[in-house]
Structure 1
């Protein structure tokens, strides 16, 4: 890891990335793509050491409250967070200034900050988003080798549910001939139902590739699924968007199951929910105690 002094922290959409790079080792990682201009080894995490200070300055200047977000480019609960605690310090600032918060992670280590999630959620909204790709823990360790298993993430989702923290699951990516099966989709949907998630974001049964991420994926396919990279080259070539042949059938299963179980599955509706700041009335806050 290496420390840097960032020039700014919040984007125009009020999102932030306090770290750059990742140690999860997910074979499909889009953040490795060259278009993001990470000019250091991807596993050598860049730590924006002054992020909390920049965030506090930004929050003091804001005229309107909003939902702050993190985790779109790198997981805010990588092992490096145990040392720096930048994610926690940002949550503390959101609580201090009464802003909402949402984050995307694959780590049950987010439960460390359950106290802050609850405090923020008492005043406005705090949403934890968790990525799930396969219900099979053995397969999970192949395609996402250095991160918590699916079963560990599901346990975290249930604890968040029991503490009144709303959760959203990211259903992606689905790699053809690996996890794009009806068995896998049914398995994932069943655990989402059991965990009581509010919504599931799903852009389709497939995945994306760009320069940088494509080479890393192929190298790992050659290592773990011999011959599959040749199939990908033949079927997808240099395409960015790569759909599974099972897309239509599995998307129907997805929508039917979500609607039956009152789980939000319209991406636009979910993103509207995630970005909508909602200040809870005093009566609502008191009812939480």
Structure 2
């Protein structure tokens, strides 16, 4: 743990990534006290080789995704994407939210991959790993430029975010929606501002996310809510209230996930519990183990998003009953999007 609380950051430690052959530990030798440096956000620019990632997971409603950024400044302590930072020799802890990577050739790569003769159109998800509308998007505008490409190619997409910056691109989202090419899911974890500041320190406030849902719905953009993650004894009691608020704002579909703690996320989250909710730590972890076959995480398909056992089953029943009461559709991903319009500019010229 760091010697001083890092305000505005989710993680308070920088554990060594699992691929590092060596690591060092600081200790107090009694000679002097070194003041901790302020955690500032650094951005590294990367020239990627590919931009569309593929998956064959039966748990996901899409088989391809696009992430313009690696790491995420929102700093959500629970983020399942944190371990991916180890692939770039960075820590899943503070590094994940302070040492970011902008994939500056993302737009060019997207055009290249969509223009390949063998490309088969299916909805692309933006935000599967890190948020496409985190703060650095204000300057880099990679997400907006990718949306421009997708609109020009008439390519369908789904988008997941907890960033209010998405409203900057309302013009593009409306144009995509008019052609049945987009669905947006807004992640809404809590209605408690104090919990939000601890859990997701640099993400938009709950009120701002509800305003996003309302604005999208008013302009005809299909929008749903993703209540994720549900954390035992921390925010699970809010599930029905979250769905009520989302429906009142205009959401027409909903989904949820039980907290996932893969790899280094488990120790980071336990540190967070001990920092903010020391009296609940053992109870929270016990309920998670009961829902994960005795472990803190089970990556098995069919179990990793929902869990199993009494607590997980009760959560699923509560969600189903609330959706039925509110007339909410279960989140179906991209089933209503139209892939038939896909038309790469200039492809027909290849016939002559």
Change beyond 3 A, Cα 1:274–1:238: farther
Normalising by structure 2, report the TM-score.
Answer: 0.71
Equivalent positions of 1:129-168 (< 5 A) are 129-168=185-224
Q: Which has the higher helix share?
A: 1
1:185 aligns with 2:239: yes
SS in 2 for 1:218: helix
Q: Residue 79 of structure 1: which of 118, 135, 138 is its match?
A: 135
Change beyond 3 A, Cα 1:35–1:109: closer
Q: How many residues align?
A: 273
Cα deviation per residue 1:26-66 (whole Å; 9 max; x = unaligned)? 12111112697342221211111100000011122255543
Cα deviation per residue 1:170-219 (whole Å; 9 max; x = unaligned)? 111111111121xx12211111211222211124xx31212211121112
Equivalent positions of 1:22-33 (< 5 A) are 22-33=72-83
Change beyond 3 A, Cα 1:193–1:244: farther
SS in 1 for 2:76: coil
User: What's the CA shift for 1:167?
Assistant: 0.8
SS in 2 for 1:171: strand
Q: Aligned partners of 2:230, 2:81: CA distance in 1, in Å?
A: 16
Q: Aligned partners of 2:177, 2:230: CA distance in 1, in Å?
A: 32
1:217 aligns with 2:269: yes
SS in 1 for 2:278: coil
Q: Aligned partners of 1:20, 1:114: CA distance in 2, in Å?
A: 24
**Higher gyration radius (CA):** 2
Structure 1 alignment gaps of length 5 or more? 281-289
User: What's the CA shift for 1:89?
Assistant: 0.4
Normalising by structure 1, report the TM-score.
Answer: 0.86
User: What's the CA shift for 1:259?
Assistant: 2.0
SS in 2 for 1:215: helix
Change beyond 3 A, Cα 1:215–1:199: same
Q: Aligned partners of 2:222, 2:153: CA distance in 1, in Å?
A: 21
Q: Residue 251 of structure 2: which of 190, 197, 204 is its match?
A: 197
| Cα root mean square deviation, aligned | 2.4
Structure 2 alignment gaps of length 5 or more? 1-42, 55-62, 299-306, 343-352
